[in-house]
Amino acid sequence: MKYTHIKKSAQSMVNLGFLQYAELINTPKTPEISIAYVEVKGKNKTIINNGSNAAYYILEGSGTFVIDNETVTVEAGDVVFIPRGTQYQDAGTLAMLAINTPRYDQNTVTYID
């Protein structure tokens, strides 16, 4: 595998209203991992990611994750690991890194609401 370097100028934010994100690494050249910068302001949709495990590193803010009906309160510096196939939802005012292994694929995500 060859190294990958992605300049800040090549990163763009996608705005979905309650959620904004920028894919930092998510290419076929890096099938083992993807990394995204994510901002949540409000309540995200409940999802099940059937394709990858997810780790969220909270950079700023605070909020909650509801994971398999259990509520976890998070703040800057916390890490949340969610195994593939687990139902979850995040909410609050959060800036975080989302790290997925293998890389995130929208086609493997099921939206519950």
| Predicted confidence (pLDDT) per residue in 31-90, tens digit | 999 999 999 999 999 999 999 999 999 999 999 999 999 999 999 999 999 999 999 999
- Rounded to whole angstroms, the Cα distance separating 73 from 63 reads 6
Which of 106, 96, 110 has its CA nearest to residue 35?
96
End-to-end CA distance of the chain: 38
DSSP codes of every residue in 26-60: -STT-TT-EEEEEEEEEEPPPEEESS-EEEEEEEE
In terms of CATH, what superfamily is 21-111?
A: Jelly Rolls (2.60.120.10)
Name the pTM for this structure: 0.91
pLDDT recorded at residue 1: 65
